[in-house]
Amino acid sequence: MSTPEQPTPPTPSAARGVFGSERLELAERYAEWLATAGVLRGLIGPREAPRLWDRHLLNCAALADVIDRDATVCDIGSGAGLPGVVLGIARPDLRITLVEPLLRRATFLDEVVADLDLSNVTVVRGRAEEIKTLHAFDVVTSRAVAPLERLLRWSMPLVAPQGSMLAMKGSAVADEVAQARSTLRSLGCAEPEVVSLGAEDSVHNTYALRVAWADPTRVGLPATPPARSSRRRRR
């Protein structure tokens, strides 16, 4: 699958500790998919290929450390499968749904999932707001999808009463939380928790923002206020 123009980057020693000997081969095959078809189809930038492991695979695998066993996971805007496919490789106990609206990306995900035989991963082509299984997932993940205010409105309707949104964010996560305060309140979210990912392994500065429901017995989006009538009162 690799080509002279985009050779698959060598597997770092840290990958064995992250994926384990039983799942390492799957991670290597996925890295090959990203470095070749992923680049050719425009899902991964050519400059990203040499640093796939540190910047993408190991980076996303760190998210697995903060997800409970046997959880149901919905990865919205999955793109090339980051972090959803990585989680499916690292954690076969998880039941993962990859949600991706663009056909070429969803097709890529279908091919990868089939080739790696990831029986715990399902691909759904569509937008997060079109998913009908509301409040059904223990965890809703995302990576580089949208600013927090929009991400909350797409993710929280899918979060189960006892579940949480788990969004991968960069060093500006605190600023995003500050800007999204009104949205957090209007949706009935609890105080967000910022979790540092992969610090011990020197993975790039990445954080997981965990957002749960303030009151698990009352979940859902606020009602939309009725539109004001444009008709004038007759005299």
**Residues flagged as binding site for S-adenosyl-L-methionine:** 77, 82, 128-129, 143
Helix ranges (H only) for 12-122 are 14-33, 39-40, 52, 58-61, 84-90, 103-116
- 4 CB burial (10 A radius; 0-12, 13-18, 19+): exposed
Residue 201's identity, in one-letter code, is D
Q: Which residues are annotated as a binding site?
A: 77, 82, 128-129, 143
CA distance 31 to 86: 10
Taking the CA atoms of 60, 66, 70 and 76 in sequence, report the sign of the dihedral they define. Answer: negative
Residue in 161, 167, 170, 169 with CA at minimum distance from that of residue 188: 161
Angle at 23 between CA 137 and CA 44, to 5 degrees: 70
